[in-house]
Amino acid sequence: MILSDKEPVKRAEKSLKKFNSEINVIYLKNSARTAIEAASSLGCEVGAIVKSLLFKTDNTYSLFLVAGDKKVSLNKIKKTLNLKNVCMATAEEVKKVTGYTIGGVSPVGHLNKIDTFVDISLERFNELYAAAGHPNCVFKINFINLQKITNGQTKDLTE
């Protein structure tokens, strides 16, 4: 099957085009399932890869967008967002809430509305790359537009 025919990729692309018709999905020959794989395929720094991580927070889910070279700090999430319970969502929860499979979770085009938080460390890069619904699909965007397209709140969330 051609990647552009896959429903999750179409959903991500639709959200991107609605925001800015000039943002295109980039189809990679090699997997970009991890930040290291994506950076290798794209020839960029690992930190320029946006990791889309879904966490279960108290009674809901929240998406955290962090640089590929950083690690989410559960303590910072709890303090910053004034939460008691924070844990990584399971693969099944990720699929159910976002409509994407781990390794291809896009920051946009989710099945459900999700509060999104963008880690300030991503601001270091002029160009960012994020998943577009499949491990071999990404898109390029800058920090300001990533905030705008996701309606994300900027926070210091990493160690």
**Residue 1 in this model has a pLDDT that exceeds 70:** no
Q: What is the pLDDT of residue 121?
A: 96
The span from the CA of 133 to the CA of 15, in Å, is 11
Is CATH 3.40.50.150 what the domain over 3-155 is classified as, yes or no?
A: no
**Residue 159 in this model has a pLDDT that exceeds 80:** yes
Half-sphere exposure of 138 (CA within 13 A, CB side): 28
Q: How confident is the model at residue 112 (pLDDT cuts 50, 70, 90)?
A: very high
- For 115-146, write each residue's pLDDT tens digit: 999 999 999 999 999 999 999 999 999 999 99
Q: Which residues contact 31 (CB under 8 A, 6 or more apart)?
A: 37, 41, 103, 135, 136
- Which SS3 state, helix, strand or coil, does residue 91 take? helix
The span from the CA of 11 to the CA of 4, in Å, is 10
Would you kindly state where each structural domain of the chain is located, as residue ranges?
3-155
Q: What is the pLDDT of residue 59?
A: 82
The span from the CA of 1 to the CA of 150, in Å, is 29
- For 22-76, write each residue's pLDDT tens digit: 999 999 988 888 899 999 999 999 999 999 999 998 889 999 999 999 999 999 9
Distances (CA, A) of 151 to 57, 128, 146, 158: 18, 16, 8, 19
What dihedral angle (degrees, nearest 10) is formed by the CA atoms of 144, 149, 154, 156? -100
